Amino acid sequence: MKTLEVSVVTPDGPVLEDNFEMVVCKAENGEIGILPQHIPLVTPLDIGEVRLKSGNDTKFVAVNGGFLEVRPDKVTILAQSAEKAEDIDVARAEQAKKRAEDRLQSKQDHIDFQRAELSLKRAMNRLRVAQR
């Protein structure tokens, strides 16, 4: 089976570099699946999970937006932050979720709702990926 070289990179450094048969991620226009020899592509990513498949095994990564770059034999995901499922601190994500929910429920003018919504989305994505 042909494989793709996959790198997930953040400003803090590489999160994952390995070879996989298929990559599925959440582009802003919907889910996109990449197989070897895909046409070159650059597209923005949503906050979501990335699935990396090899045979019957699938690895899950929580990705906080960024960009997907596809070349025929290589996929690069550049994200503001990203965590492999096994590296996610569930208690921290639950606290972040609670904080964001409290902010969204408060009626105070100084709350930045868009920021709180994004924070909630990141936390819920981490919790979903951690359960995989």
Q: Which residues contact ligand ATP by CB under 6 A?
A: 12, 64, 81, 83, 87-89, 92-93, 96, 119, 122, 126
Q: Which is nearer to ligand ATP, 64 or 68 (CB)?
A: 64
Rounded to the nearest 10°, the torsion over CA 61, 25, 6, 64 is: -50
Q: Which is nearer to ligand ATP, 11 or 55 (CB)?
A: 11
Of 95, 114, 92, which Cα lies nearest the Cα of 104?
Answer: 114
Q: Which is nearer to ligand ATP, 16 or 96 (CB)?
A: 96
Nearest distance from C-beta of residue 44 to ligand ATP, angstroms: 17
Nearest distance from C-beta of residue 23 to ligand ATP, angstroms: 19
Nearest distance from C-beta of residue 21 to ligand ATP, angstroms: 26
Distance separating alpha carbons of residues 15 and 32, to the nearest angstrom: 21
